[in-house]
Amino acid sequence: MTGHDLNVVGAAALAMVRDRGGPRTGALQDEMDVITDGSVAIRDGRITAAGPTSAVLAAWGDPAVAQLDATGKTVLPGLVECHSHPIFGGERHDEYAERLGGASLAEVAARGGGIWSSVVSSRNATDHDLTARLQAAYQRIVAGGVTTLEVKSGYGLTVEEELRELRLLEGSRRLTPLELVITFLGAHVVPRDIGAGDGGAEAGDAYTDLIAAEMLPAVAEQGIAQFHDVTVEDGLFTPAQAQRLIRAGRDKGLPPRVHADAWKPSQGWATAAGERAGSAEHLTYTPDDEIRDVGSTETVAVVLPVAELIYMTDRRANARLFIDNDVPVAVATDYCSSIHATSLLQTMALAAPWFRLTPAEVIVGATLNAAYSLGLQDRCGSLETGKRGDLIVLDCPHPNELFLAPGAPLLDAVVIGGRPIHR
Ligand SMILES: [Zn+2]
């Protein structure tokens, strides 16, 4: 994106979330670098200055440049959503209604629900239908303040279907101003039709073999995926299977992300950190001892409050303990076939009380730390010179207000590459 010039002027609060050379951990995650009366200058789609209004306008004030008046408002870096599964077919609202009515996960699965139903629906959906749904989701996701979005495949689970999902995700770039980061998630679950054993360890081994021997080479050859996500979960993929896949992906040039401990303690966090994955996501059931044993790491712990809410887990990820152990924490929606949370802003408002995090910790988690988890810290995640001109304007005088107003329509503008997208 080029050619977009914009001055965003006079914000009551400008949260810069400065990059200090690494993802924010410990006490540093609790600082969002708020400037009172701040402005941002964007030229040719990139930030050329951000800081006190007087300094920014002295250097970049220009009556010929478009101006966005932020008087009385809050400006944040464009939000970075680092965990979503937007490509799927079918509907799963019935099974959530059943679960709310008291049905167990096993009962829902026995009636044909669960992720497997989405795999079947996705395989049967046309390219056109999958793409239309992507486009609708992107519009809602932008309307939740997001400017950079990670998108995973993972409802295909055959070589052909995974390549198709990645191809459709690549094609969807032209449908949205969002910067998309595309992740291959072959190891989402073990497909029921893998044709080995009864769905137990034998099936897991057979599917792991298929991913390593056929999917990863084909995905690398296709050249679309930027990351490789692997699940570590009791009953799905063991730490040893995940380790093998992570290393096989890395050999093909695909850096790892990990779905870890969403349903049970499964050594997912230790496996992800041990393999220096960019992120480990969910972490609902990661034991406190495992967090302490792993200690400080640059693997970003991505916590997903809406997933815990909708899955009705009896535990929450111990985000506080991760922060206290100098682990960078990020916050994401987990938008997927069973969680239709598209607003990262509303997810953030929930994340603070859900995990007992401060507003600053959550804002850092949805901007700079999320950018680090995607290796995009040079392009987004903070309001600093040289980064893409991505920011959001909230109709409130301080970012803390967001957390007092869950569901309120505070989002005033989304700017991507200097271009106002949503107003
Ligand atoms: Zn997920």
**What is the value of pTM for the model shown?**
0.97
From CA 387, how far away is CA 45, in angstroms rounded? Answer: 9
Chain-centroid distance of CA 68 in Å reads 28
Residue 201, pLDDT score = 75
CA of 84 to the centre of ligand 1 (A): 6
- Confidence at residue 106, expressed as pLDDT on a 0 to 100 scale: 86
Quote the CA–CA distance of 163 and 184 in Å, as a whole number.
Answer: 9
**78 C-alpha to ligand 1 centroid (Å):** 22
Distance 307 CA to ligand 1 centre (A): 9
The pLDDT value recorded for residue 96 is 94
From the CA of 259, how far away is ligand 1's center (Å)?
A: 6
Q: What are the average pLDDT values for consecutive 10-residue runs of the chain, which has 423 residues?
A: 84 98 97 98 98 98 96 98 97 93 90 90 97 98 97 97 98 97 96 74 91 98 98 96 98 98 97 98 98 97 97 96 98 96 97 98 98 98 98 98 92 97 77
CA of 74 to the centre of ligand 1 (A): 30
Instruction: Say whether 8 sits in a helix, a strand or coil.
Output: strand
**Residue in the structure block whose two tokens are 């540093």:** 28
Taking the centre of ligand 1 as the mean of its atom positions, its distance from the CA of residue 279, in whole angstroms, is: 12
Residue 85 Cα to ligand 1 midpoint, Å, equals 6
Burial class, 314, CB count within 10 angstroms (exposed 0-12 / middle 13-18 / buried 19+) = exposed
List the chain domain ranges. Answer: 6-77+382-422, 80-373
- pLDDT tens for residues 92-107? 999 999 999 999 988 9
Distance from the CA of 400 to the center of ligand 1, in angstroms? 28
What's the CATH fold of domain 6-77+382-422?
A: Urease, subunit C; domain 1 (2.30.40)
CA of 380 to the centre of ligand 1 (A): 22
Write the single-letter amino acid at 314: D
Going along 345-410, which residue ranges are E strands? 391-394
Distance (angstroms) between ligand 1 centre and the Cα of 280 equals 10
Is the CB of residue 334 less than 8 Å from the CB of residue 341?
A: yes
What's the CATH class of domain 80-373?
alpha beta
Cα(382) to centroid(ligand 1), Å: 25
Q: How far is the CA of 341 from the centre of ligand 1 (A)?
A: 12
User: How far apart are the CA of 339 and the centre of ligand 1, in A?
Assistant: 10
| CA–centroid distance, residue 333 to ligand 1 (Å) | 9
Residue burial 273-312, b: 16+ Cβ < 10 Å; e: rest: bebebbbbbbbbbbeeebbeebeebbbbbbbbbbbbebbe
- At residue 171, the pLDDT reads 98
pLDDT at 202: 86
How many Å lie between the centroid of ligand 1 and the Cα of residue 71?
A: 38
User: Which is nearest to 231 in space by CA: 210, 260, 270?
Assistant: 260
Residue 336 alpha carbon to ligand 1 centre in Å: 7
Write out pLDDT tens, residues 169-199. Answer: 999 999 999 999 999 999 999 998 887 655 5
